[in-house]
Amino acid sequence: MKKLLASIAIILTALVACKQNQKQAARTFDGPAYLNAELPIDERVEDALSRMTTEEKVAILHAQSKFSSAGVPRLGIPELWHTDGPHGIRPEVLWDEWDQAGWTNDSCTAFPALINLAATWDRDLSRLYGRSIGEEARYREKDILLGPGINMGRTPLNGRTFEYMGEDPYLAGKLVVPYVQGVQSQNVAACVKHFAVNNQETRRTETNSIVDDRTLYEIYLPAFKAAVVEGGAWAIMGSYNLWNGTYNCHNDRLLNQILKGEWGFDGVVISDWGGCRDDDEAITGGLDIEMGTWTDGLRSAASNGYDLYHLANPYLERLRDGRASEDILNDKARRVLRTIFRTSMSPVQNFGSFTSPEHFAAARKIAAEGIVLLKNDGILPLRVSEGGKIVVVGENAYKMMVVGGGSSNLKTKYEIIPIDALKEAFAGKAEVIWERGYVGDVTTDYNRVVTGQKLEDPRSPAKLIADAVAAAKDADVVIFIGGLNKSEGQDNEGTDRKDILLPYGQEKVIEALAEANPRLVVVNISGSPVAMPWEGKARAIVQGWYGGSESGHALADVLTGAVNPSGKLPFTIPYSLADGPLKTERQYPGILEKGSDKWQEYYDEGIFIGYRWYDTKGIKPQYAFGHGLSYTDFTYSGAALDKSTMTEDGTIHVSVNVSNSGIYDGAEVVQLYISDPECSVERPAKELKGFEKVFIKVGETTTVGFDIKAEDLSYFDAAAHKWVAEKGEFKVLIGSASDDIRATLSFRLQ
Ligand code: BGC
């Protein structure tokens, strides 16, 4: 006992001494204030700024290499290192080139694509994702993670749908906040992209999106606002396109007035790579760091090509001859310094971790929780008797998917493919055979990241089908694993898809398999909606995604029932493209009008995208937004409001009981939609305004509660420039999907 007390006394004395030393250090710190980690960041920023020359201020506003922007070497202020983002830490590239630097220690954990995260509808998993990728970034000494992307799913053809969080601003807004906070907990700035109304890849740098204010504020801005105001994002990336006639990397209205003005954003605006287009607008339009500009200077300048950037020499010239003001320069420099002091010079130093078992486990969990069971007649989870035979058909059971897709391309330490995971899951129990079925895309490298797989197959399409059918005939179950991939024209940056059907003749393979063996399960792996006219041929349909390093395990977990599926669609899957809101060329992909060198794209559909369109127009989609089945059943009961009228500054509490009435433990996403049946303006039939993912054991019941506020009832009145909740009746729709409403309640706003 004596010994214990003595040890405690020693520890306490040491702690007190340590605290005193720290205080002493702060008081006696005799270096410059900007180096004093005890001081508030803005004091350090002001001190650093006061010591900088104009040239030094300009130098920190633009790239000094493909992925870094300068610091202030004279003052010992480090440069900022940027990295893609958003699914893992990009492999190192050469100083001035996109090409790989050839490092051998930069193979990361590949996390699932963001659309997969969105399909989890799980805020905690989003935080886990953010923190894990933040730790990887910090370990690799990156200060700015170029992600997450949260552009809205306006067209299912958008090549980057897989990098975003779906078609609903509320869902994306709720999921982006914990992601941003998770990343930034590691002193890595999340750079939320691409701001704004950047919803297609076709002619992405030459398209002028013409969008009215109501549509902008209700659909295209809310997730960004949430990232900034609730998530406290430290960086925003401007998008390539123009909005209402001005390029978005220096769009005064978007960046100065809305982002920095209305939302009080105090972080840094970074251009998309090559998105800065004009000397003067670059200065006045709200841009802070210019990256990736494709100046000729990069190749031909005698000295440093980066000096030719819009925010480099042209800016200096304007400052010297008085055309540009010191105030704007100081504001930009302050924002960059603030970013440096928040990240690499932060008083809290994290060291991160890379490819840890925890990161792979997080990747597997997120991947599995986002997989969506679209249809099931009971064939899943797989139950194969001892010595049974499972035939797996399809390229996506084998093809590695981490590589490809554009700037989100990753070099990962390993990638588990579905066929290997299924063999592992059934080892010693059943035989698992793979047949190709079709040849889709045989590229196995992207930007010099190589998978090492051999995908060429000399067989004709007919022979491939015949071989698959022969193998499938006597199988206990046939699992077709196909879909899209991350090559050009599929889920890929820089191009959009041409249609929403399965490519490479896969429909024929599915039909032939169904004829040979009716015990057919189809797994569609894609990052965007695929129409399924063959739906009736499959006994179960699973929507899988690009799940990253652990994608195969995650899929096998769901197919075997080790994980009970709980993902819900973050977008609508329509029967056909023609059913959707984009009917004309002027809506998509845009038209070239006389006298303009930009493609004009009119958002004539206004606020009606995704389920807002399908629901309001009464068009039945193939699978609705929010849809996703489970191996168990959930029963909803006792939905109630705590009052029948609400005042404008009050709240209404909604509660509902959800019971697991099936035979497996599982999670349900309870969704709350609001409908405003009487309104002076046209409104969507319903809009998502709440969701909770709850895990419920067999036979148990959970009560789920939501608070509704006036902001959940409002539309944006563009003329008055404010949100309006009109008095009268509102309906609260609670359900398991946007097309599976289990309870409807109503109240009045007074
Ligand atoms: C993409 C960005 C990306 C950047 C850097 C651009 O082409 O649009 O999303 O972060 O490149 O790789």
For residue 598, the CA-to-ligand 1 centroid distance in Å is 21
666 half-sphere exposure, CB direction, 13 A CA radius: 28
Testing ligand 1's pocket by substitution, the residue of 201, 273, 447, 492 carrying the most ligand atoms inside 8 A of its CB is 273
For residue 191, the ligand 1 atom closest to its alpha carbon is 10
Task: State how far the alpha carbon of 93 is from the alpha carbons of 67, 79, 410, 413, in Å.
Answer: 8, 17, 12, 17
687: enclosing H helix or E strand: strand 687-696
pLDDT at 59 over 90: yes
pLDDT in tens, 306-337: 998 999 999 999 999 999 999 999 999 999 99
Instruction: Using alpha carbons only, give the angle 228, 292, 158 rounded to the nearest 5 degrees.
Output: 65
- Please name the residue that has the structure tokens 């958002």: 603
Mean pLDDT of 236-259: 98
User: Which stretches of 336-397 are assigned E, i.e. beta strand?
Assistant: 372-376, 388-393
Mean pLDDT of 397-422: 97
Give me the pLDDT at residue 99, please. 85
Q: Is the CB of 369 under 6 A from ligand 1?
A: no
The angle that helices 169-184 and 123-139 make with each other, rounded to 10 degrees, is 40
The angle that helices 123-139 and 357-370 make with each other, rounded to 10 degrees, is 150
Mean pLDDT of 101-123: 97
Q: Is the CB of 333 under 6 A from ligand 1?
A: no
For residue 195, the CA-to-ligand 1 centroid distance in Å is 12
Q: Is the CB of 164 under 6 A from ligand 1?
A: no
Note whether 436 and 444 are within 8 A (CB). Answer: no
Nearest CA to ligand 1 atom 9: 407
For residue 163, the ligand 1 atom closest to its alpha carbon is 9
- Which residues, 6 or more positions from 227, have their beta carbon under 8 angstroms from its beta carbon? 150, 173, 176, 177, 180, 190, 192, 233
Testing ligand 1's pocket by substitution, the residue of 114, 203, 272, 291 carrying the most ligand atoms inside 8 A of its CB is 272
For residue 72, the CA-to-ligand 1 centroid distance in Å is 25
pLDDT at 679 over 80: yes
- Please name the residue that has the structure tokens 């007035």: 257
Q: Is the CB of 85 under 6 A from ligand 1?
A: yes
pLDDT at 1 over 50: no
Decide the pairing of beta strands 651-660 and 701-709. Answer: antiparallel
The DSSP line for 388-416 is EEEEEESGGGTS--SS-SSTT---BS---
pLDDT at 90 over 80: yes
pLDDT at 5 over 50: no
Q: Is the CB of 192 under 6 A from ligand 1?
A: no
Give me the pLDDT at residue 303, please. 64
- Which residues, 6 or more positions from 428, have their beta carbon under 8 angstroms from its beta carbon? none
Q: What single DSSP character describes residue 527? A: S
For residue 447, the CA-to-ligand 1 centroid distance in Å is 14
Note whether 667 and 633 are within 8 A (CB). Answer: no
Q: Which of the four pLDDT bands, split at 50, 70 and 90, describes residue 295?
A: low
User: Cα–Cα distance between 410 and 450 in angstroms, integer?
Assistant: 10
The angle that helices 461-472 and 506-516 make with each other, rounded to 10 degrees, is 30
User: Cα–Cα distance between 342 and 321 in angstroms, integer?
Assistant: 34
pLDDT at 226 over 90: yes
pLDDT at 702 over 60: yes
C-alpha 630, offset from chain centre: 24
pLDDT in tens, 456-480: 999 999 999 999 999 999 999 999 9
The phi-psi region of residue 73 (left if phi > 0; otherwise alpha if psi is between -120 and 50; otherwise beta) is alpha
User: Cα–Cα distance between 179 and 117 in angstroms, integer?
Assistant: 10
Note whether 679 and 713 are within 8 A (CB). Answer: no
For residue 146, the CA-to-ligand 1 centroid distance in Å is 8
Q: Is the CB of 407 under 6 A from ligand 1?
A: yes
Q: 3-state class of 533 per DSSP?
A: coil
For residue 84, the ligand 1 atom closest to its alpha carbon is 10
Note whether 242 and 207 are within 8 A (CB). Answer: yes
Longest dimension (CA), the chain: 92
Q: Which of the four pLDDT bands, split at 50, 70 and 90, describes residue 185?
A: very high
Give me the pLDDT at residue 98, please. 84
Q: Is the CB of 163 under 6 A from ligand 1?
A: no
Task: State how far the alpha carbon of 199 is from the alpha carbons of 168, 208, 484, 570, in Å.
Answer: 13, 11, 19, 16
Task: State how far the alpha carbon of 32 is from the alpha carbons of 47, 57, 81, 337, 525, in Å.
Answer: 8, 18, 24, 15, 55
Residue type, 691: F
Residues written for the chain: 750
pLDDT at 298 over 60: no
Nearest CA to ligand 1 atom 7: 273
Q: Is the CB of 136 under 6 A from ligand 1?
A: no
Q: Is the CB of 193 under 6 A from ligand 1?
A: yes
- Please name the residue that has the structure tokens 């299924």: 422
For residue 193, the ligand 1 atom closest to its alpha carbon is 9
**Phi and psi of 373, rounded to 5°?**
-85, 110
User: Cα–Cα distance between 626 and 121 in angstroms, integer?
Assistant: 9
For residue 154, the CA-to-ligand 1 centroid distance in Å is 20
pLDDT at 27 over 70: no
637: enclosing H helix or E strand: strand 634-641
Nearest CA to 252 out of 272, 267, 235, 269 is that of 269
User: Cα–Cα distance between 485 and 544 in angstroms, integer?
Assistant: 12
- Which residues, 6 or more positions from 5, have their beta carbon under 8 angstroms from its beta carbon? none
For residue 85, the ligand 1 atom closest to its alpha carbon is 10
User: Cα–Cα distance between 194 and 209 in angstroms, integer?
Assistant: 13
Annotated catalytic sites, by residue?
272
Decide the pairing of beta strands 599-602 and 207-210. Answer: parallel
Q: Is the CB of 405 under 6 A from ligand 1?
A: no
Burial of 71 (0-12, 13-18, 19+ CB in 10 A): buried
Q: Is the CB of 146 under 6 A from ligand 1?
A: yes
Nearest CA to ligand 1 atom 6: 273
For residue 449, the CA-to-ligand 1 centroid distance in Å is 17
Give me the pLDDT at residue 28, please. 73
Mean pLDDT, the chain, integer: 95
Nearest CA to ligand 1 atom 11: 273
For residue 91, the CA-to-ligand 1 centroid distance in Å is 14
Q: Is the CB of 513 under 6 A from ligand 1?
A: no
Burial of 598 (0-12, 13-18, 19+ CB in 10 A): middle
Q: pTM to 2 decimals?
A: 0.95
User: Cα–Cα distance between 595 and 431 in angstroms, integer?
Assistant: 65
For residue 204, the ligand 1 atom closest to its alpha carbon is 8
Task: State how far the alpha carbon of 661 is from the alpha carbons of 350, 383, 637, 656, in Å.
Answer: 46, 21, 12, 15
Give me the pLDDT at residue 488, please. 95
Q: Which of the four pLDDT bands, split at 50, 70 and 90, describes residue 521?
A: very high
Q: Out of 187-196, 291-300, 403-412, 444-453, which region has the weakest mean confidence (pLDDT)?
A: 291-300
For residue 407, the CA-to-ligand 1 centroid distance in Å is 5
For residue 239, the ligand 1 atom closest to its alpha carbon is 8
Give me the pLDDT at residue 690, please. 98
Give me the pLDDT at residue 294, please. 72
Tally of CB atoms within 10 A around 665: 16
Give me the pLDDT at residue 153, please. 98
For residue 203, the CA-to-ligand 1 centroid distance in Å is 15
Give me the pLDDT at residue 665, please. 98
pLDDT at 89 over 70: yes
Q: Which of the four pLDDT bands, split at 50, 70 and 90, describes residue 305?
A: confident
Q: Is the CB of 272 under 6 A from ligand 1?
A: yes
Q: Is the CB of 273 under 6 A from ligand 1?
A: yes
For residue 272, the CA-to-ligand 1 centroid distance in Å is 6
Nearest CA to ligand 1 atom 4: 273
Mean pLDDT of 675-686: 96
- Which residues, 6 or more positions from 463, have their beta carbon under 8 angstroms from its beta carbon? none
Mean pLDDT of 103-122: 98
For residue 240, the ligand 1 atom closest to its alpha carbon is 8
pLDDT at 17 over 70: no
pLDDT in tens, 63-84: 999 999 999 999 999 999 999 9
Nearest CA to ligand 1 atom 12: 407
Of all residues in the chain, what percent carry a pLDDT higher than 90?
91
The angle that helices 313-320 and 326-342 make with each other, rounded to 10 degrees, is 140
Task: State how far the alpha carbon of 486 is from the alpha carbons of 86, 496, 692, in Å.
Answer: 15, 11, 31
Q: Which of the four pLDDT bands, split at 50, 70 and 90, describes residue 6?
A: very low
Tally of CB atoms within 10 A around 743: 16
